[in-house]
Amino acid sequence: MRLQLDKALQAQGFGTRKACRLLVNRGAVNVNGVLADSPDAAVESDGLVLTVEGVDWPFHERLYLALHKPAGVECSHTPTHHPSVFSLLPAPFVTRGVQCVGRLDADTSGLLLLSDDGAFIQRLTSPKHKVPKTYLVTCAEPVTQALVERLSGGVQLNDAPEPVAGQGERVSERALRLTIHEGKYHQVKRMVAAAGNHVVALHRERVGALELPAALTTGTWQVLDGPALALVKATP
Ligand code: URA
Domain shared by 197 and 136, yes or no = yes
Q: Report CA(152)–ligand 1 centroid distance (Å).
A: 17
Domain shared by 86 and 102, yes or no = yes
Taking each continuous run of H as one helix and of E as one strand, the counts in the chain are 7, 15
Domain shared by 196 and 149, yes or no = yes
Give pLDDT, residue 108: 98
Give pLDDT, residue 101: 97
Domain shared by 155 and 215, yes or no = no
Residue 117 phi, psi (nearest 5): -100, 100
Q: What CATH number is attached to the domain comprising 20? A: 3.10.290.10
Domain shared by 213 and 203, yes or no = no
Point out which residues pair with 136 in neighbouring strands.
177, 203
Percent of the chain whose pLDDT exceeds 90: 93
Q: Which of 69, 73, 105 to mutate to test the pocket of ligand 1 (most atoms within 8 A of CB)?
A: 105
Residue 104 CB–ligand 1 contact under 6 Å: yes
Name which residue sits closest to atom 2 of ligand 1, judged by CA. 186
pLDDT tens string 2-11: 999 999 999 9
Domain shared by 48 and 72, yes or no = no
Instruction: Specify the length of the chain in residues.
Output: 236
Q: In this model, does residue 68 exceed pLDDT 90?
A: yes
Give pLDDT, residue 231: 85
pLDDT tens string 137-196: 999 999 999 999 999 999 999 999 999 999 999 999 999 999 999 999 999 999 999 999
The single residue of 6, 40, 105, 117 carrying the catalytic annotation is 105
- Mark whether 105 is an active-site residue: yes
Residue 73 CB–ligand 1 contact under 6 Å: no
Q: What CATH number is attached to the domain comprising 72? A: 3.30.70.580
Q: What CATH number is attached to the domain comprising 136? A: 3.30.70.1560
Give pLDDT, residue 227: 85
Provide the residue range defining the domain that includes 25.
2-58
Q: In this model, does residue 228 exceed pLDDT 90?
A: no
Q: In this model, does residue 125 exceed pLDDT 90?
A: yes
Q: In this model, does residue 226 exceed pLDDT 90?
A: no
For the chain, how many structural domains are there in total?
3
Span 105-120, mean pLDDT? Answer: 97
Q: In this model, does residue 236 exceed pLDDT 80?
A: no
Domain shared by 36 and 139, yes or no = no
Residue 192 CB–ligand 1 contact under 6 Å: no
Q: Report CA(128)–ligand 1 centroid distance (Å).
A: 19
Domain shared by 203 and 221, yes or no = no
Q: CB neighbours of 54 closer than 8 A, spacing ≥ 6? A: none
pLDDT tens string 15-35: 999 999 999 999 999 999 999
End-to-end CA distance of the chain: 29
Domain shared by 34 and 69, yes or no = no
Contact 94, 114 (CB under 8 A): no
Domain shared by 152 and 89, yes or no = no
